């Protein structure tokens, strides 16, 4: 699980950099490819963030259970 999250954080910048380079050095005909692939940047950025948020929620529930059992 930890390795999967680490890889997820590197996929987004690499993919977005690739799209940016494609946009800089390509002819005007490639612009639709850029605009149709741009939402994938947001998806790749959001995926690991959502996974981390889910882990935080699970850890908060575990802390609440531990505190409830100790009292």
With DSSP H G I counted as helix, E B as strand and the rest as coil, what are the percentages for the chain, rounded to 5? 95, 0, 5
Q: Which domain holds residue 20?
A: 2-70
Tokens of 6: 């680490």
CB 51 within 8 A of CB 12: no
pLDDT score of 2: 58
CB 51 within 8 A of CB 5: yes
Run means of pLDDT, 10 residues per run, the chain, 71 residues: 64 82 83 83 82 91 93 74
pTM of the model: 0.57
pLDDT score of 59: 95
Q: How far apart are CA 57 and CA 55, in angstroms?
A: 5
- Provide the domain count of the chain: 1
pLDDT score of 52: 85
Q: For residue 20, which of 47, 41, 49, 6 has the smallest C-alpha distance? A: 41
């Amino acid at each position: 699980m930890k390795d999967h999250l680490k890889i997820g954080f590197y996929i987004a910048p690499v993919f977005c950099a690739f799209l940016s380079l494609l946009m800089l050095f390509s002819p005007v005909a490639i612009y639709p490819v850029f605009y149709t692939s741009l939402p994938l940047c947001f998806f790749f950025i959001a995926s690991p963030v959502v996974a981390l948020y889910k882990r935080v929620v699970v850890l908060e529930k575990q802390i609440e259970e531990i505190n409830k059992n100790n009292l």
